[in-house]
Chains A and B, each alone.
Chain A
Amino acid sequence: MLSRSYYALVIVLAIPAFIWLVPTIWMLSLSFQPNDVLARTTSSTGFGLIPIPFTFENFFALFAFGHTPLWFFNSIIVALGMTLGVLVVSTTAGYALARLEFRFKRVVVVICLVGLMIPEQAVFIPLYTMFADFGWHNSYQALILPRVAVPIGVFLMMQFFKGLSKDIEEAARLEGVGWLQIFWYVMLPLARPAMVTLAILTFLYAWNDYLWPLVSAQKREYFTITLGLASIQSNFAQSEGLGRVMASGVIASLPVVGLFLIFQRYVVRAMSVGGSKG
């Protein structure tokens, strides 16, 4: 199994993997270099990939003066809130659509299908006027709510539930267990792999969202890290404070990367579990 060709493959693939990493390494390296050196040249050592001259000043400055921690905190709240909301809403609706029979079921499915075709960016203008009319902008709910009921989440869970065998359910029904209990005690635990995938996708999506926070969050206290970073990315910062801006990028990414590294094994396992059930 671990033949010579396998090792060769690993080595061959390691090269593009490294190249893929270079931009990120570069950002990391620049964040540790002093601003005045960077204003003149960015390739001090090893094309700039090695941080010599080295300094911590950019990171100190970020925590002493910057709003980066606040923005980062906002992103966490929004992303977690959205993920939780999506999970709750998608698992419940997904299960109902997959397994329960009820009047108007076809209607609901069609309505969901229609929603699948509406891209988020097509509704941001009317959403903006709606929130403005109620004065709800500049708030966490404005940043979280519009994206919670994405039909794709419901469909993902619906497909998953459809793929489960009906035996457990039927056995539980014979014992007189209520539908809601079946959902809570039986279906949810089984749905964990799909829930993890959905959670990760939603979290990433929430973290990355730029357009909606751009139009909705006008007060600095509600900027997400994505928005905050963009606001200091102006040309002035680039020519005078390159190291500082890169440090912000590093801080903005570290936690998400960390989270991903922790959960990626879960994701891969979830994929293989899903696979063997197929």
Chain B
Amino acid sequence: MSQQQAAAVLILPFLVIYMVFLIYPFFRGIWISFHDWNLLAVAFNPDAKEFVGLKNYSRVMWGKNITWSFFHSPFWQTGAVILALVTFWAKDAGRLKSSLAWLIIFIAFLIFFVMGLYPDEGGRWYDRRFWPTVANTILFVALTVPSVTFVALFLAAALNRETRAMSVLRTLFFLSNVLSVTVVTLIWQIMFSPRQGLVANITEAFGGSPIIWLTDVQFAMAAIVITTVWWSIGIAMILFLAGMQDISAELYEAGALDNAKGLKAFWFITLPNLKRTMTVVVVLQIILHFQVFGQVHLMTNGGPNDTTQVLVRYIYQTAFRDSELGRAAVMAVFLFVIMGGFSAIQLILGREES
């Protein structure tokens, strides 16, 4: 049997399932986004859908009388300009890799442009919830990913020894990752309850008055982030551990000769060698948490007042609550563009390393 034939036999199962269940739906999703498609109506009458071209995109992402100005969000826009300039200088000074620098500049430009858009007199965004939902999702990711990364890194460094006790401790920290999302939300929803929750019980025992976490505008997002961090430490920690174990022991021995032990060893030997793992962990976390659904759906229902509404939940509600399949598909395409962007980033950065 030739390589060609063997390869065909080996590749085919994957390729078939992949094309049918990932690639084809992806393109079909784009096709759906060009239609005015009511979920129930079409279920009863397949001809009830109507081709509307880009109208859904406009109704989700655009508005009436939208104008642009440099002064609309001065904080973000000047910040973006400064970021771009600093990055440019750093690139020229050789302190920053070229590809990473251009990436940051591109993102800065995006921020500068997007934050300047706003509806003018008598105008409004057609879908008032879409962009705030995207912003919430970004906020959630911005809060969760660094937290998980740092805690996981710290734990991995502290627990990177082959003793019984360390093994037990690692297991204890990983345990929460094994639970399913509904168990996690069940536990934490009650934990945060002002009446029945552990947090409230402890607060009251110390004489405080309990915070109503899940319906308080300031604390709801924090509650979701805490829950998610508690839940997601495990895999990140294991990935860091694996990365650390890949670092050859000789490097540490050589370092010890130079009197670089403990913290110094961590800073000068471990961290630089973990760059690849760090990239993987961060990007995986971003992709994972950008698609958050369960925690928000079950704990806060997107509230209070949509402050914890996230993109995937909005897609679900648009499709199954409002029956608007076309618009939901538009948002899914948007999600793909963002996620695709991050995956592409990871690939580019990864290529650079090797």
A20 at the A/B interface (Cβ < 8 Å)? Answer: yes
Contacting pair A24 B176 (CB below 8 A): yes
Contacting pair B13 A249 (CB below 8 A): no
Contacting pair A23 B191 (CB below 8 A): yes
Contacting pair B14 A271 (CB below 8 A): no
- Interface set, chain A 47-93, CB cutoff 8 A to B: 47-49, 85, 88-90, 92-93
Q: Knowing A27-B186, A100-B3, A226-B182 touch, does A123 contact B26 (C-beta < 8 A)? A: yes
Contacting pair A210 B293 (CB below 8 A): yes
Looking at chain B's contact residues, is the secondary structure mostly helix, strand, loop, or mixed? Answer: helix
Residues on B with C-beta less than 8 A from A214 are 316
A198 at the A/B interface (Cβ < 8 Å)? Answer: no
Residues on B with C-beta less than 8 A from A38 are 196
**What is the CA–CA distance of A252 and B201 in the complex, to the nearest angstrom?**
26
Which one, A14, A93, A95, contacts B13 given CB within 8 A? Answer: A93
Contacting pair A271 B245 (CB below 8 A): yes
B312 at the A/B interface (Cβ < 8 Å)? Answer: yes
Contacting pair A47 B25 (CB below 8 A): no
A26 at the A/B interface (Cβ < 8 Å)? Answer: yes
- Interface set, chain A 243-265, CB cutoff 8 A to B: 245-246, 249, 252-253, 256-257, 260-261, 264-265
Residues on B with C-beta less than 8 A from A93 are 10-11, 13-15
Contacting pair B177 A204 (CB below 8 A): yes
B257 at the A/B interface (Cβ < 8 Å)? Answer: no
Range of interface residues on B (Cβ < 8 Å): 35 or more
- Interface set, chain B 292-317, CB cutoff 8 A to A: 293-294, 297-298, 312, 315-316
- Interface set, chain A 95-109, CB cutoff 8 A to B: 95-97, 100-103, 105, 108
- Interface set, chain B 148-183, CB cutoff 8 A to A: 158-159, 161-163, 165-167, 169-183
Contacting pair B287 A119 (CB below 8 A): yes
**What is the CA–CA distance of A102 and B259 in the complex, to the nearest angstrom?**
52
Residues on B with C-beta less than 8 A from A174 are none
Contacting pair A26 B187 (CB below 8 A): yes
Q: How far is the CB of B295 from chain A (nearest CB, A)?
A: 10
Residues on A with C-beta less than 8 A from B202 are 47
Residues on A with C-beta less than 8 A from B241 are 271
Which one, A113, A210, A271, contacts B238 given CB within 8 A? Answer: A271
- Interface set, chain A 225-256, CB cutoff 8 A to B: 225-227, 229-230, 233, 238, 242, 245-246, 249, 252-253, 256
Q: How far is the CB of B167 from chain A (nearest CB, A)?
A: 7
Contacting pair B18 A149 (CB below 8 A): yes
Q: How far is the CB of A175 from chain B (nearest CB, A)?
A: 15
Residues on A with C-beta less than 8 A from B10 are 92-93, 95-96, 100, 180, 183
Residues on A with C-beta less than 8 A from B25 are 123, 126-127, 130
Which one, A154, A215, A225, A257, contacts B175 given CB within 8 A? Answer: A257
Which one, A119, A149, A238, contacts B14 given CB within 8 A? Answer: A149
B254 at the A/B interface (Cβ < 8 Å)? Answer: no
Contacting pair B190 A117 (CB below 8 A): no
**What is the CA–CA distance of A42 and B192 in the complex, to the nearest angstrom?**
12
Residues on B with C-beta less than 8 A from A27 are 183, 186-187
- Residue in A closest to B340 when the chains form the complex, CB atoms: A117
Which one, B167, B205, B339, contacts A117 given CB within 8 A? Answer: B339
Residues on B with C-beta less than 8 A from A229 are 180, 182-183, 186
Q: How far is the CB of A94 from chain B (nearest CB, A)?
A: 9
Per-residue 0/1 for A195-225: is the Cβ within 8 Å of any B Cβ (1 yes, 0 no)? 0000001001001101100110000000001
Contacting pair B201 A102 (CB below 8 A): no
B32 at the A/B interface (Cβ < 8 Å)? Answer: yes
B-binding residues in A (CB < 8 A): 2, 6, 9-10, 13-14, 17-18, 20-24, 26-27, 30, 38, 41-43, 47-49, 85, 88-90, 92-93, 95-97, 100-103, 105, 108, 111-130, 132, 145-146, 148-151, 154, 178-180, 183, 201, 204, 207-208, 210-211, 214-215, 225-227, 229-230, 233, 238, 242, 245-246, 249, 252-253, 256-257, 260-261, 264-265, 267-268, 271-272, 274-275, 278
Nearest 5 pairs of A and B residues by beta carbon: A275-B245, A179-B6, A93-B14, A117-B340, A149-B18
A-binding residues in B (CB < 8 A): 1, 3-4, 6-11, 13-15, 17-18, 21-26, 28-29, 32, 43, 158-159, 161-163, 165-167, 169-183, 185-191, 193, 196-198, 201-202, 205, 230, 233, 235, 238, 241-242, 245-246, 287, 290-291, 293-294, 297-298, 312, 315-316, 319-320, 325, 328-329, 332-333, 335-336, 339-340, 343-344, 347
4 further interface pairs, Cβ-Cβ under 8 Å (given A115-B22, A126-B25, A264-B174) = A27-B183, A119-B287, A119-B335, A121-B312
